[in-house]
Chains A and B, each alone.
Chain A
Amino acid sequence: MQKRREEAKKMKLLSAFRSSYLNRRGTTFRSLDPSSFDGGFIPKPSPSSIFWLAIHCLCCLISLILGFRFSHLVLFFLFSTSVTNLYTTTAGVSQLLKLKPLEKANVTAKSSRVVVGRHGIRIRPWPHPNPVEVMRAHQLLERVQKEQKSLYGVRSPRAVIAVTPTYVRTFQALHLTGVMHSLMLVPYDVVWIVVEAGGKSNETASFVGKSRLKTIHVGFDQKMPNTWEDRRRVESKMRIQGLRIVREEKLDGIVVFADDSNMHSMELFDEIQNVRWFGALSVGILAHSGNADELSSVLKMNQEGKPIQGPSCDSSGKLVGWHVFNTQPYATKTAVYVDDKAAVMPSKMEWSGFVLNSRLLWKEPVDDRPTWVKDVDNLLDGNEEIEDGPLSMVKDPSMVETLGSCGRNVLLWWLRVEARADSKFPPGWIIKSPLEITVPSKRTPWPDSSSKLPVVTKEAKYNQPATEKRSDSTFVIEEKLDGIADDSNMHSMELFDEIQNVKWFGALSVLTLTNQQGNPLSMPIQGPSSDSSGNLWGGTFLISLMPPRLRFMQDGMVRESVDDKPTLMIVLCPWSRILPELIASWIINSPLEITVGIKEDTVVRLGLYPLVRNKNQKLLMVSATR
């Protein structure tokens, strides 16, 4: 790069040289020609002839210059038509040219023929963008996108009313955070109705409160049962409860059933704006048994049927039927209990695949209410059981509006992963007592092969928000190296506030959510642990991900800190090995200078250093800076 820059500098000089090309040519005429005539025509100069000669030279020079200029003029007039045509620019550009006197200085020069051969590479002296222009560029982008929205977007958006049944459990944090973040990104008005089984709880309330959405959080006085079948039934009831609220509050908008086991694409919320009364969408079903081999064999069996549930149309786009997820391959392996080690099958028709206009639920008669939708009063008053999912709300299912080009675009997914019902988790995900230490901080040598470490099947991880960094019991440190964000992580928004506190390198607790909790008594958390004074003294086994490129500045090695304080200890594997085998990393407080970037295929195992802490020193986080 440096080399190239030097080269470029040379080019720049060259360009300057080029630009004076015409001038140079002019001067050559002036300086050379008269002198050559000088010698050729008057061999023996006498005083008078010298005088004449001087005059001749002068005349010659004048005529030369005049001729040269004249030639320009002639050419200019001859080709003036083309000149004006060639350089008509759009209004915008020409306005700009007015702004820059440099640009309009020499219009005639523009008309000169493009010269063949070597040209300089023009580099401006101050390379950095002008902040005013950058701002203008962003305004332009915004304007263009606004125009796109007005062309393709929704004209008169309606509010989105999301109904979410939930209950407190280990995986609630994961699921509810996902749905909450999706709803937070919806560019329309959102009303979020959260129905909680077993009554309102603080855990759920604190989640819902973080969303900054308009939420209605209600309890449902029935505990969530332990079998999938019962759970589904209760969840249906809870959704009906949500619909009752819509009726009572007379909310106006589009009702979506956002289960906490759903993941929504943002297009979904644009798409449902098209619904008039009752619409159906395709749901991508990610049946997962938690066992990769089993899953792949199931998928193989299920190749003909796509893992999709939703409406199905004929070629003319008319609804002709429903595509139901083929559960047959799973017949023998379907989970019954919530913590079963088998694929969880969706119910016949998932609620999340349907949206409806909230006016259908109102008590007051609504104009042009379609006749093909049943009167929902019976249902909402509890006089009627709902048995066939939301489709039982319509008399004629063929009238259901299809969304997402008749279900061909899958805009939301369904993935139900749950922990054992008796798996423990800290309330509110704040760890009150120090984690048990599986790896002592002073231990040397560090187990150097990752296979020796307890391998945890990583299904999902939850980055734990910290309460207070120096609070006596909770010690949550940041694990963040130049923005490692695994796509199997779910982050709370507090995480991003918390990591601002990192100085160099930090660690934080990670909840590993596996759907087969082997030991229901230990918490599925990895993270550092500290004593009551907040000193790091050990920790639950911490697993963190590192990008494959980690270059340590200055002589390419981890520099041991000068003041004999311990340094960093990392066990790294190549990127490809990261997913199956987790990487152990440990942290320490010395201000290391670390940057990213190491050769892709290099496997680096850095030294294993004991972790010692300076008494007076607070824990300084070590993190990477670019």
Chain B
Amino acid sequence: MKLRSWVLIFIACNLLTFSTISAFRLSRSQPTERISGSAGDVLDDNPVGRLKVFVYELPSKYNKKILQKDPRCLTHMFAAEIYMQRFLLSSPVRTLNPEEADWFYVPVYTTCDLTPNGLPLPFKSPRMMRSAIQLIASNWPYWNRTEGADHFFVVPHDFGACFHYQEEKAIGRGILPLLQRATLVQTFGQRNHVCLKQGSITVPPYAPPQKMQSHLIPGKTPRSIFVYFRGLFYDVGNDPEGGYYARGARAAVWENFKDNPLFDISTEHPTTYYEDMQRAIFCLCPLGWAPWSPRLVEAVIFGCIPVIIADDIVLPFADAIPWEDIGVFVDEKDVPYLDTILTSIPPEVILRKQRLLANPSMKQAMLFPQPAQPGDAFHQVLNGLARKLPHDRSVYLRPGEKLLNWTAGPVADLKPW
């Protein structure tokens, strides 16, 4: 009896311990994106000839009609999904013969649903995506062949294919079940996050190239601002109590450095915003609701060293761009010591970062220009897709084999679009 109770207790204890471990493992079993510091040589790869992409022809209600309804979609920071389609249609990697295609692209503009203020709210996106997939799965044989493993989607929203702008809700939703096997091209990137699945390609957010080009000032303009930042510190509307928005990091920047003369920080967006970035040494790129921000692109374009404050962020094309060499990474908890951290960087290191930033292929990889240019972000996406080839044999399903659960997910998502 006594022995039994002892054994029982022991087992109970062990069970408890291991369950904690397994819980941890579950949460940590998300893939980790490797950042290797190879210089810009990969950026200059030419994807043409290394892959062939078939672009599905979808009814215009999935793309063109949506854009007609709201042309603002062409200019906001999620516009990559639109430009990607335009690019692929005229790209030499496009093939009209689906049989020889390595990748299949489904042109749906899931993010092009803006509020009057211009904020995208992806509430309809899951249904729309589901509808598009149902369509291609019934009209073409290729989806069912792999259940999407050789398909890619552009999902540039805050939390990618989780389709919600609030992180907690996004995590609760998880990646849309139908996209479990597909390759996602998204701006969101955070290590060990539910909304970033293995094999996703992280891209920079869209920033208008012509507009930025027109604001370039001569390189000899002395950089006289030490730290520059323009943007919100508190999102009172969505986060009245504070501490949720940017995990408190932006608020910490403000509270610690609002009176510091080295920090040119404010909520006002001046007309000289782009020029000011070219007059600054460091540009803060703290997380907002999502870890990424268009400031990263702007900083690279304008040669301002990005100070990335977003723990575990996965940066765009991290396999091709040596972000550690370009930017400065500051942990969110170290924000109060930002001045110490930045002033402790040796001048040679700063100059080296500036030299790397001056590399045109680095800047090119951050942009989605119209028309596309060699080495731009479109080409980097294609390079990323080409590097995943050839597909593993295991992605092709045996006849009759079904892996995807078409009825998974919230009930509201299952309604027809």
Interface residues of A (CB under 8 A from B): 4-5, 7-8, 11, 14-15, 33, 37, 41-42, 49, 52, 56, 59-60, 63-64, 66-68, 70-71, 74-75, 78-79, 81-82, 85-93, 95-96, 99-100, 103, 110, 113-114, 116-124, 127, 129-130, 133-134, 136-137, 139-141, 143-145, 147-149, 151-153
Cα–Cα, bound, A140→B227 (Å): 12
Residues of B within 8 A of A103 (CB): 334, 337
Alpha-carbon distance between A435 and B49 when the two chains are bound, in angstroms: 87
Chain A residues whose C-beta falls within 8 Å of the C-beta of B347 in the assembled complex: 139-140, 143-144
- Whether the pair A121, B251 counts as a contact (CB closer than 8 A) is yes
A145-B222 contact given A67-B14, A85-B34, A85-B35, CB 8 Å threshold: yes
Query: What residues of chain A lie closer than 8 Å to B354, measured between beta carbons?
Result: 144, 147
Of B38-46, B69-77, B236-244, the one contacting chain A is: B236-244
Chain A CB within 10 A, most for which of B21, B171, B262, B343: B343
Q: Knowing A8-B255, A64-B17, say if A113 contacts B192 (CB, 8 Å).
A: yes
Given A67-B20, A118-B241; 4 other pairs, CB 8 A cutoff:
A5-B255, A78-B25, A78-B28, A122-B336
A–B Cβ pairs within 8 angstroms, 9 of them = A4-B255, A11-B251, A71-B24, A114-B311, A119-B248, A121-B243, A122-B256, A133-B339, A134-B262
Measured between beta carbons, the chain B residues less than 8 angstroms from A136 are: 343-344
* Interchain CB contact under 8 A, B5 and A63: no
B336 pairs with A95, CB closer than 8 A: no
Q: Do B28 and A113 touch across chains, with their CB atoms under 8 A apart?
A: yes
Interface check B226, CB cutoff 8 A: yes
Residue pair B248, A71 in contact (C-beta under 8 Å)? no
**Whose C-beta in chain B lies nearest to the C-beta of A1?**
B258
Do B243 and A95 touch across chains, with their CB atoms under 8 A apart? no
Q: Pick the residue among B171, B191, B332 that contacts A116 (CB under 8 A).
A: B171
* Cα distance, A177 to B222, chains bound together (Å): 27
Question: Top 3 closest A-B pairs, CB basis?
Answer: A67-B17, A152-B220, A92-B345
Q: Does any Cβ of A come within 8 Å of B273's Cβ? A: no
When the two chains form their complex, are residues A75 and B24 in contact, meaning their CB atoms are under 8 A apart? yes
Contact assessment for A147 and B5 in the assembled complex, using a CB-CB cutoff below 8 Å: no
> Which chain B residue shows the least CB distance to A72?
B24
The answer to whether the Cβ of B342 comes within 8 Å of any Cβ in the partner chain is: yes
Residue B235 CB within 8 A of the other chain: no
B1-44 toward A: CB 8 Å interface, digit per residue (1/0)? Answer: 01001101110111011101100110110001011000000000
Judged by a CB distance under 8 angstroms, whether B219 is at the interface is: yes
Contacts of B249 in A (CB 8 A): 119
Contact A41-B9, Cβ < 8 Å, known A67-B18, A113-B28, A141-B224: yes
| Interface check B83, CB cutoff 8 A | no
**Complex: chain B residue closest to A33, CB-CB:** B16
Contact assessment for B244 and A92 in the assembled complex, using a CB-CB cutoff below 8 Å: no
B212 at the interface (CB under 8 A from A): no
A151 vs B355: C-alpha distance when bound (angstroms): 11
- Tell me the nearest residue of chain B to A132, going by C-beta: B343
**B218 on interface, CB distance cutoff 8 Å:** yes
Pick the contact of B336: A123, A145, A153 (CB < 8 A): A123
- Tell me which residues across on chain B come within 8 A of A52, comparing CB atoms: 2, 5-6
Minimum CB distance partner of A56 in chain B? B9
Contacts of B247 in A (CB 8 A): 114, 119
Chain A interface secondary structure, helix, strand, loop or mixed? helix
Give B313 Cβ to nearest chain A Cβ, in Å. Answer: 9
B312/A140 in contact, CB under 8 A: no
Write the nearest CB–CB distance from B58 to chain A, whole angstroms.
Answer: 34
Question: Is residue B214 contacting chain A, with contact meaning CB distance below 8 A?
Answer: no
Interface residue from A37, A59, A130, A139 paired with B340 (Cβ < 8 Å):
A130
Assembled-state Cα–Cα distance A61/B171 (Å): 34
Chain A hits for B218, CB < 8 A: 152
Are A123's CB and B252's CB within 8 A? yes
State A82–B353 Cα separation when bound (angstroms).
24
When distances are taken between beta carbons in the complex, the residues of chain A under 8 Å from B192 are 113-114
Is the pair B220, A148 in contact by a Cβ cutoff of 8 Å?
A: yes
Q: A96-B344, A122-B335, A151-B219 are in contact. Are A86 and B16 (CB under 8 A)?
A: no
Tell whether A56 pairs with B220 under 8 Å between CB atoms, given A85-B32, A116-B167, A127-B259. no
CB nearest to A96 among chain B residues: B344
Bound-complex Cα distance A130 to B342 (A): 13
- Are B339 and A129 touching (Cβ within 8 A)? yes
Query: Chain A residue with minimal CB distance to B224?
Result: A141
A377 to B251, CA, bound (A): 72
B9–A7 contact, CB under 8 A? no
Decide: B252 and A121 in contact? CB cutoff 8 A.
yes
Nearest CB in chain B: distance from A151 CB, A? 7
B25 CB, min distance to chain A CBs, angstroms: 7
**Given the interface contacts A96-B341, A119-B247, A143-B351, does A79 sit within 8 Å of B219 by beta carbon?**
no
B311 partner residues in chain A, CB cutoff 8 A = 114
Whether A144 and B252, one on each chain, are in contact in the complex, defined by CB atoms closer than 8 angstroms, is no
Q: Is the CB of A113 within 8 A of B21?
A: no
| Given the contacts A141-B226, A147-B351, A152-B218, A86 and B191 also touching, CB distance less than 8 Å | yes
Which residues on A sit within 8 Å (CB–CB) of B5? Answer: 41-42, 52, 56
A163–B168 alpha-carbon span in the complex (Å): 71
Min C-beta distance of A349 to chain B, whole Å: 28
Closest chain-A Cβ to B330's Cβ sits at a distance in Å of 8
B270 lies within 8 A of chain A by Cβ: no
> Is B350 positioned at the interface, with any CB of A under 8 Å from its CB?
yes
Q: How far is the CA of A130 from the CA of B14 in the complex (A)?
A: 51
Given A33-B16, A90-B349, A140-B226, also A148-B219 (CB < 8 A): yes
Most chain A C-beta atoms within 10 Å of own C-beta, residue among B13, B32, B226, B354: B13
A388 → B minimal CB distance (Å):
34
> Is B312's CB under 8 angstroms from A86's CB?
yes
> Would A127 and B256 count as touching, CB distance under 8 A?
yes
**For residue B192, which residue of chain A has the nearest CB?**
A113
For B9, the closest partner residue in chain A by CB is A56
- Kindly state the separation between the CA atoms of A90 and B349 in the bound complex, as whole angstroms: 8
Instruction: Pick the residue among A118, A127, A129 that contacts B244 (CB under 8 A).
Output: A118
A42, A82, A127: which contacts B32 (Cβ < 8 A)?
Answer: A82
